[in-house]
Structures are given as structure tokens and as C-alpha cells.
């Protein structure tokens, strides 16, 4: 790392003690900026780097709620409004017991550069809570969402900050939160949240967008080598929103996804995943991956080891941060994997990224590869603002165009800074320069 960025990194570590995921995300971006600052030293002036690593605003609040048995629980809510140079803060809400300030900060920081790559005029933010929706009734989830939104509603708005889903937050939760926002404000601000239901301001393709986008990104990377996904065996982790629609698009493009996972284990289905059954188990029944295996002859559930032990041509990590470490990366490489496209945020550890890059395979980092979700959120905001609704084909064509543009921007930036084919450098450099140019134009704010 260059001296000038090293100093900024050390300040981040000192100021945000113990927030290891945030340190990791900042380190990865700053490391990429060496060649950018060497070529354009003005990006290190005016404390620009110091400003970009410090959130504009950090909100933390109490979320009390009552369970079905009448017991009172207290969770912690977060919204990190990281950077508004390019537009209103934009980014999802995560409900998972592991959520803490460092995790939300890492996600908010990534979101700045991801959103810049989409070129849709959106700033970066993230939020959530350490609430665990697993095993909670609809009524409990509703009461939690209402309490969470009672505080969050003071801070958001269609031109201010526009949350959406992430782990543990999907259409059901967005619905409960939108209902409470509307009631508190007495205002039908459709554009205050994205990922809404289709009958009340949601966009077609938003549900599919992140998974579809990650597969389209893999396809674009393969096309630089004159190859495609056709006939490739795909290893997918996760069994939520991103994983399900990554599997769907991979199948549409002629590939064969053979795995998925949740926190209870992973499933190998050598015949190819039965997508309708997976959707029934996960989206309709909110069940576990074991429920799939019970109804699918030939599929097996593995509860020890890792999904990355399964050999395949393409890996799509779609579960959570740091789910793929250096050992897993080397196992994947030995199994013949030549493409990794990150559907999740920061799923590969630094050791895994290093192994992939050393091996020279196609590696698409999350902030580029999974940007289709937030990009389609911006399309939802555009439709809300125009009080209009596009059909599926129109929205999907726009998503496809945006993913191609993101891919091409990464390729161009990697070439410009002397590391052709390095999508990590490409994504960080292209995202950073777009935000940095506008921060400079806006003065010291
Ligand atoms: P979901 O809640 O729909 O699904 C998450 C899946 O990952 C579940 O199968 C879950 O299993 C599994 N998972 C979560 N945490 C762990 C863990 N610690 N160990 C093992 N498995 C785990 O979330 P999404 O699909 O929306 O999100 C997945 C990833 O994609 C996240 O990194 C998210 O930040 C990222 N992302 C999401 C976008 C979106 O539009 N939704 C956009 C861009 C990125 P279990 O149910 O057992 O916990
Ligand atoms: O990580 C992400 O990009 C998301 N969870 C989606 C954010 C959004 O605002 O759609």
C-alpha cells in the first residue's frame, strides 16, 4: 500500500476499533487506489480520502417490540448515511443477529462505489438491525418492522435516503415498513423504499435483479475470452433472494447450477437444481434446505465441510461476507473453477481474492457483480417519480444494459491503471473516481 493511503487506513482502524469487516472493505479499496493516485495526485488532496472513509451521518437507535407471548425485546437499529455526492443515500437494510456497526459500515462503504458504478445518481448508505426474523411469526415481524420504522422514518425520504432489502429483509418486511412510514407521514411517498410489491409501486425485475446481474456479469467476463456459460457447471452458495435468481438466470443461459446452501448446510443436486421446488421451499414455505432434499430424489444434504468442496466451472457466492476463504479458493481452483462472480457483498476473504488473482481466473468483485439489485432499485425510483410502470422485458433490458456498462467500465479502468483483467482494481478505480470528482466539485462538505 502507498504511504498516503496507508496513513488513511491506519486512521480508520484507530477510529473504528474492532470493526474488522469495515477495516477489510476499506483496505481493499485503498489498496486499489495506489495506481490511481500515482497518476492523479489531486485525489489525495483536500483530505478527500479522509472524508470518503468517514460516514456523513451514523444513526443508531433502540427498537423495542413485543413478541406473541407478550414478552418485550430490545434490538438495535442502524442507518449509516455514508456518502451523498452522487444522489440520495441508497442501500439495503439487513436483519440478522450478527449485525453490528462495523458490518453496516462495511456494507455502506461498499455501496458508495457500487452505486457509482451503476451511473444511476445514487449515494451510498446501509442499515439494519440485529433482529433475527428466523422462527418469528408474521405478526412479530410486523411489530418489529413498525417499531424500526417509527424511528427510521425521521431520517429517510425519496430525495434523502431510500432503503431497500438485504439479508432477512424482502417483500414482506418492506411492505410492513412502507405501511408504517405512510401512516406516520400521512404521505404516499412510493419512492422512499424500493423492493416494494408490484401492486404498490414495486418494479418488475427488482426481485430477480441481483442474481440475474451477477450471472450476466459472469457471462460478460467469459465473453472477453470468447466463452459463455453454456454447458458450465455452477456452484452456488446461499438459498435466498440472490442465490435463487442467480440459479434461474444461469439455467436460462444454458448452465447447470448443482448446489445451494443455508446456515444449516449445503445441497448437491448433480441432476441440476429443481428451481420450482427450491422456490416453494424457500420463498413460499420459508423452510430449510433439508426440506428440498426430502422431496428430491438424488439430491443430498451435507452438514459438514463447505459448498466450495464441490467441483465446478463457475462459483457464485450468494450468502454472506467472508464465506469463501483462502482454503476454499484453492479447493475451487483445484476443482477446475475458472470464474467467480460475487452475488453477495465481500464473500471472498482477502486470501481468497489473492488466490483467484494469482491463478489468473475471471474474478468479479461484489461491488460490480451484484450491482444489478441496487441499479434496478434506482429504476424503481425512476418509475415511481414518473408515476409509470415498465413491463418485464423493458426493465430487464435496462438491467442488462447497466450490467454490460459496469463490466466495460471495470475493464477500461483496469487497463487505464496498468492491470488489464483485474476487475477488483477496475471496479474500485472506476467507482472511486466518479464519486471523488463530484466530491471535489461540491467543495469541502
Ligand atoms: P436472503 O436473506 O434472501 O438470503 C441469505 C441466504 O444466505 C440465506 O440462504 C441464508 O441462510 C444464507 N446466509 C446468511 N448468512 C449466513 C451465514 N452467516 N452462514 C451461512 N449462510 C448464511 O439475503 P439475500 O439473498 O438478499 O442476500 C445475500 C447476499 O447478497 C448478502 O451478502 C447481501 O448483502 C447481498 N446482496 C443482496 C442484494 C439484494 O438485492 N437482496 C443486492 C446485493 C447484494 P439462513 O436463512 O440459514 O440464514
Ligand atoms: O447490497 C445491495 O446492493 C443491496 N442490498 C441492494 C440495495 C438497494 O438499495 O436495492
pLDDT at residue 24 tops 90:
yes
For residue 210 the three cell numbers come to 441481483
pLDDT at 437: 98
286 lines ligand 1 (CB under 6 A): no
Cell of 326: 483462502
- Ligand 1 centroid vs 251 CA: distance in angstroms? 20
pLDDT of 70: 98
Q: Is residue 309's pLDDT more than 80?
A: yes
CA-CA-CA-CA torsion sign (10, 15, 21, 22): negative
Atom of ligand 1 nearest to the CA of 195: 40
Whole-number pLDDT of residue 441: 98
Q: How far is the CA of 96 from the centre of ligand 1 (A)?
A: 9
Model confidence at 378, pLDDT cuts 50, 70, 90, reads very high
Count, residues in the chain: 445
Task: Please work out whether the CB of residue 319 comes within 6 Å of at least one atom of ligand 1.
Answer: yes
pLDDT tens for each residue of 245-295: 999 999 999 999 999 999 999 999 999 999 999 999 999 999 999 999 999
> What is the tens place of the pLDDT at every residue in 55-64?
999 999 999 9
| Mean pLDDT of all residues in 71-83 | 98
Q: Is the CB of 112 under 6 A from ligand 2?
A: no
Please, how many CA atoms are within 13 Å of residue 15, restricted to the half-sphere of its CB?
13
Name the residue of 133, 247, 262 whose CB sits within 8 Å of the most ligand 1 atoms, as the mutation to test its pocket: 262
Indicate if ligand 2 lies below 6 Å from the C-beta of 164.
yes
| 95 CA distance to ligand 1 middle (Å) | 10
The predicted pLDDT at position 3 comes to 85
Number of neighbours of residue 70 by Cβ within 10 angstroms: 6
pLDDT for position 2:
78
Angle at 392 between CA 389 and CA 394, to 5 degrees: 75
Nearest listed ligand to the Cα of residue 207: 1
- Between CA 23 and CA 348 the distance in angstroms is 15
Q: For a pocket test of ligand 2, which of 164, 206, 240, 384 has the largest count of ligand atoms closer than 8 A to its C-beta?
A: 164
- pLDDT, tens digit (0-9, with 9 covering 90-100), for 182-215: 999 999 999 999 999 999 999 999 999 999 999 9
CA distances from 416 to 28, 32, 35, 224, 439 (A): 19, 13, 10, 17, 22
Ligand 1 lined by 341 (C-beta under 6 Å): no
CATH 3.40.605.10 assigned to 55-188: no
CATH architecture, domain defined by 209-369: 3-Layer(aba) Sandwich (3.40)
Cell of 430: 472506476
Vertex 47 angle, CA 437 and 436, to 5°: 15
103 — pLDDT class (breaks 50, 70, 90):
very high
Q: Which three cell numbers stand for residue 94?
A: 439487513
The pLDDT of 5-10, averaged and rounded, is 96
- Please state the domain extents for the chain: 55-188, 209-369
Q: How many CB atoms lie within 10 A of CB 377?
A: 29
Q: Whose CA is nearest to atom 3 of ligand 2?
A: 374
The torsion defined by the Cα of 437, 213, 241 and 76, in degrees rounded to 10, comes to -10
User: What per-residue string of b and e applies to 119-146 under the rule 16 or more CB within 10 Å gives b?
Assistant: bbebbbbbbbbbbebeebeeebbbbbbb
CB 422 within 8 A of CB 414: yes
Q: How far is the CA of 317 from the centre of ligand 1 (A)?
A: 10
Predicted model pTM: 0.98
Nearest-angstrom CA–CA distance, 355 and 142: 44
Cβ atoms within 10 Å, residue 219: 24
The residue to mutate among 100, 166, 321, having the most atoms of ligand 1 within 8 angstroms of its beta carbon, is 166
pLDDT tens per residue, range 130-159: 999 999 999 999 999 999 999 999 999 999
Closest protein CA for atom 42 of ligand 1: 373
Q: What is the mean pLDDT of the chain?
A: 98
pLDDT of residue 313: 98
Mean predicted confidence (pLDDT) in 162-190: 98
Instruction: Give the mean model confidence (pLDDT) for residues 215-237.
Output: 98
Cβ-based neighbour number of residue 272 at 10 Å: 15
Pocket test residue of 105, 156, 166 for ligand 2, highest count of atoms within 8 A of CB: 166
Alpha carbon 365 to chain centroid, angstroms: 10
Is 91 close to ligand 2, i.e. is its CB under 6 Å away?
yes
Distance 169 CA to ligand 1 centre (A): 9
Per-residue pLDDT for 1 more than 90?
A: no
**All cell numbers assigned to 249:** 438466470
Please identify, by atom number, the ligand 2 atom nearest to the C-alpha of residue 345: 1
- How far does residue 349's CA lie from ligand 2's centre (Å)? 20
Measured in angstroms, how far is the CA atom of residue 214 from the centroid of ligand 2? 13
Could you give the CA distance from residue 49 to residue 1 in angstroms, rounded to a whole number? 14
Active site residues: 126
| Distance, CA of 166 to CA of 91 (rounded, Å) | 9
The pLDDT of 366-391, averaged and rounded, is 98
Q: What digits encode the pLDDT tens for the residues 389-415? A: 999 999 999 999 999 999 999 999 999
Percent of the chain predicted with pLDDT > 90:
99
Cβ atoms 50, 436 nearer than 8 A: no
Residue 121: its pLDDT value, please?
98
CATH topology identical between 55-188 and 209-369? yes
3-state SS string for the chain: CCHHHHHHHHHHHHHCCCCHHHHHHHHHHHHHCHHHHHHCHHHHCCCHHHHHCCCCEEEEEEEEEECCCCCEEEEEEEEEEEECCCCCEEEEEEECCCCCHHHHHHHHHHHHHHHHHHCCCCCEEEEEECCCCCCCCHHHHHHHHHHHHHHHCCCCECCCEEEECECCECHHHHHHHHHHHHHHHCCCCHHHCCCCCHHHCCCCCHHHHHHHHHHHHHHHHHHCCCCCCCCCEEEECCCCHHHHHHHHHHHHCCCEECEEEECCEEEECCCCCCHHHHHHHHHHCCCCHHHHHHCCCCCEEECCCCHHHCCCCEEECCCCCCCECHHHHHHHHHCCCCEEECCCCCCECHHHHHHHHHHCCEEECHHHHCCHHHHHHHHHHHHHHCCCCCCHHHHHHHHHHHHHHHHHHHHHHHHHCCCCCCHHHHHHHHHHHHHHHHHHHCCCC
Q: Whose CA is nearest to atom 31 of ligand 1?
A: 344
Amino acid at each position: 500500500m502507498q504511504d498516503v493511503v496507508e496513513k488513511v487506513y491506519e486512521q480508520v482502524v484507530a477510529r473504528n476499533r474492532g470493526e474488522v469487516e469495515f477495516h477489510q472493505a476499506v483496505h481493499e479499496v485503498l489498496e486499489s487506489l495506489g495506481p490511481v493516485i500515482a497518476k492523479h495526485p489531486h485525489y489525495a488532496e483536500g483530505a478527500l480520502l479522509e472524508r470518503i472513509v468517514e460516514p456523513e451521518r451514523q444513526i443508531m437507535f433502540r427498537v423495542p417490540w413485543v413478541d406473541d407471548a407478550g414478552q418485550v425485546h430490545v434490538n438495535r437499529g442502524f442507518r449509516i448515511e455514508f456518502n451523498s455526492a452522487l444522489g440520495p443515500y441508497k442501500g439495503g437494510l439487513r436483519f440478522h443477529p450478527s449485525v453490528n456497526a462495523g458490518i453496516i459500515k462495511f456494507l455502506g462503504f461498499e455501496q458508495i462505489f457500487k452505486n457509482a458504478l451503476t451511473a444511476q445518481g445514487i449515494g451510498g448508505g446501509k442499515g439494519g438491525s440485529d433482529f433475527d426474523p428466523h422462527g418469528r411469526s408474521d405478526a412479530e415481524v410486523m411489530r418489529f418492522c413498525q417499531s424500526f420504522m417509527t424511528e427510521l422514518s425521521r431520517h429517510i425520504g425519496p430525495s434523502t435516503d431510500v432503503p431497500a432489502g438485504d439479508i432477512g429483509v424482502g417483500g414482506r418486511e418492506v411492505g410492513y415498513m412502507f405501511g408504517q412510514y405512510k401512516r406516520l407521514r400521512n404521505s404516499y411517498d412510493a419512492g422512499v423504499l424500493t423492493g416494494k410489491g408490484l401492486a404498490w409501486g414495486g418494479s418488475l425485475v427488482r426481485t430477480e435483479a441481483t442474481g440475474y446481474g451477477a450471472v450476466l456479469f459472469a457471462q460478460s467476463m467469459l465473453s472477453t475470452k470468447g466463452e459463455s456459460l453454456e454447458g458450465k457447471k455452477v456452484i452456488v452458495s446461499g438459498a435466498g433472494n440472490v442465490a435463487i435468481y442467480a440459479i434461474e438466470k444461469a439455467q436460462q443461459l444454458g448452465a447447470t447450477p448443482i448446489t445451494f446452501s443455508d446456515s444449516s448446510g449445503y445441497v448437491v443436486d448433480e441432476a441440476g437444481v429443481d428451481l420450482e421446488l427450491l422456490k416453494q421451499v424457500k420463498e413460499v414455505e420459508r423452510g430449510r434446505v433439508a426440506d428440498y432434499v426430502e422431496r428430491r430424489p438424488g439430491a443430498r444434504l451435507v452438514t459438514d465441510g463447505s459448498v466450495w468442496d464441490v467441483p465446478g466451472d463457475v462459483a457464485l457466492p450468494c450468502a454472506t461476507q467472508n464465506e469463501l476463504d483462502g482454503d476454499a479458493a484453492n479447493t475451487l481452483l483445484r476443482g477446475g473453477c475458472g470464474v467467480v462472480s460475487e452475488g453477495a457483498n465481500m464473500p471472498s476473504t482477502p486470501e481468497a481474492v489473492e488466490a483467484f488473482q494469482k491463478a489468473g481466473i475471471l474474478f468479479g468483485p461484489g461491488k460490480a457483480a451484484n450491482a444489478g439489485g441496487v441499479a434496478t432499485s434506482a429504476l424503481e425510483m425512476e418509475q415511481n417519480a414518473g408515476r409509470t410502470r415498465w413491463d418485464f422485458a423493458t426493465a430487464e433490458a435496462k438491467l442488462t444494459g447497466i450490467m454490460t456498462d459496469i463490466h466495460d467500465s471495470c475493464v477500461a479502468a483496469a487497463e487505464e491503471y496498468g492491470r488489464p483483467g483485474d476487475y477488483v482494481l477496475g471496479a474500485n478505480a472506476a467507482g472511486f473516481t466518479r464519486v471523488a470528482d463530484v466530491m471535489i466539485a461540491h467543495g469541502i462538505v
